[in-house]
Amino acid sequence: MTNLSSHWTNETLKQQIGQMIVVRASGHLFDQQIRYPTWEAPNAQLHHWLQTLNLGGVILLGGTGAELSLRTQQLQQWSKTPLLIAADIEEGVGQRFSGATWFPPPMALGSIAKRDLGQAIRCATQMGVTTAQEALSIGINWILAPIVDVNNNSENPVINIRSFSNDPEIVSHLATAFIDGAKTYKVLTTVKHFPGHGDTSTDSHLDLPIIPHKMSRLAEVELVPFKKAIEAGIDSVMTAHLLIKAWDEQKPATLSKKILTGQLREKLGFEGLIVTDALVMGGVANYASSEEVAVMAVEAGADILLMPNNPEKTIEAIYQAVESGRITSERIEASLARIWHAKQKTSTTFYSFDNQPLSSLNQLSQPRAKQTVTHVLQYSGEKGGNLPLKSKYRRRNLIVVDDLLNCNFLDRQTPAVIIPERLGYNLQLVDENTLNFVLEDNRKTLLQVFVRGNPFRGNAGLTDRAQKTYKKLLKYKIVKGLIVYGSPYVKDWFLSETKVVKENLPWVFSYGQMTEAQNISCNTLFGLSEISCNLKDTFL
């Protein structure tokens, strides 16, 4: 590869601005596989953008690890300038791309840290090592993790168990451990969402949350992990679409020069990449036109604009802002320099994307990674009541998920289905839209609830309708066993219902929802195997 820094000086201003844009694309290879057409351009459009706009990068979602290995090569070949290829892989590569390692949510590590901080740090470090190794093996060079939001609001609908903890010190320790582990490989890491999205009850994907805290509170809680991550050498910081009244009463953090330049750059001394959260999110998309939002973000100090609504119009708007003098050419050059420096740190700059060997796929789901997943699940899980659950006739395995059309952790052969089936339980699978029908069946029931905070969900735990249904199931003594996967706040709600405790109902809780979590939880509930929680006897 040629020297990109000198190369960019020969590009037009619009092509230089293109380096500041990262667009969303499907991880699948073919257009008919695209799941989110509103955000993911078809291949012809994407090819055109990469060849003519000189875009800086792509953020991917969907597909298998094997597909990603081919997809990232394809995208790099379409672009004349090496791309930053990013993914939201806060829980490992397997969270987004099947076949790779999917770790339990960060809060599982936080729960371990409350009992054994050293053990949790070792797990977080290994999580960082594995995530970076697997990401790089399939062509991802920019990890949009770890989250350093301090989730001290149980009603937080979007961060929730994506956070390590409600304790800023635990968050700091585990986030820096993840960063240290990821540094083993030439990938970029990111902390998010600056200056802290943990204490909100509004999802910024849908609307603009307001943080009313004073500067002293921000310094004592929200900013602590960001400071530690900067000291640990984090490569990039993602902004939050939040209104922080103590710093700027008018503009969301993503669009505020007072916050991105004044606080993050000047006060905290961060010199790496500032990347916006997705600009299609309601937290800023509702603030102004998409073109004006992009210009304001650059004015504020952002280097990378993530998922603008239309990259061509975005580039044109920033170009016109420079031509008119609203944005200086020096401001663009500063971002280009940081982008160039970031690309030098990855294997992107001098990596050959031709004929990537299939042997790279052997890096996915290695034994040590699987062992880490199992140990974190075992050591962070909880159980209670009169275990094990004794089998009886006329049994129902009632599985409740948020959305049956978006449920990548269940299929016919997953343990939550197959283990109860082998014990004589008949499956009933429902979601929020079909939950009312479960009351028509009075068979003795194993209730398995898969629920967690997620973007666009709009709710941190159980809806009012779900709570009413579960209360009736408990009241009529239909539920004979309970497994909750995901949110500890949902588990706490069930335990607060007197019927669970009073009747000594056998229950199991797991932070994870993946196959390994289901296997451990079902085996624990039915007493099918003995599970050890002693991590110190293994590699840790």
Catalytic residues: 205, 277
CA pair distance 419, 386, nearest whole angstrom: 19
- Tell me 390's DSSP state: P
Report how far Cα 493 is from the mean position of its chain's Cα atoms: 24
Report how far Cα 268 is from the mean position of its chain's Cα atoms: 25
Return the residue matching tokens 């990262």.
22
Joined tokens for residue 188: 């970029």
Return the residue matching tokens 């697997």.
134
* DSSP-derived secondary structure for 437-489: GGGG--SEEEEEEEE---TT---SS--HHHHHHHHHHHHTT-EEEEEEEE-HH
CA pair distance 199, 50, nearest whole angstrom: 38
* DSSP-derived secondary structure for 97-141: SBTB--PPPHHHHHHHHTT-HHHHHHHHHHHHHHHHHHHHHTT--
Joined tokens for residue 498: 């007197």
Helix, strand or coil for residue 304? strand
Joined tokens for residue 279: 């600009």
Cβ atoms within 10 Å of 79's Cβ, excluding its own: 19
Cβ(70)–Cβ(380) below 8 Å: no
H/E run at residue 430:
strand 426-431
Which residue type does 291 have?
A: E
CA pair distance 10, 8, nearest whole angstrom: 5
Helix, strand or coil for residue 278? coil
- Beta sheet of 273-275, edge-to-edge order: 190-194, 236-239, 273-275
Nearest to 264 by CA among 251, 275, 277: 275
First to last CA, the chain: 40
Joined tokens for residue 142: 């920019």
H/E run at residue 318:
helix 311-323
CA pair distance 328, 34, nearest whole angstrom: 38
Joined tokens for residue 14: 């619009």
CA pair distance 146, 165, nearest whole angstrom: 12
Which residue type does 271 have?
A: E
Which residue type does 436 have?
A: N
Return the residue matching tokens 């280097």.
303
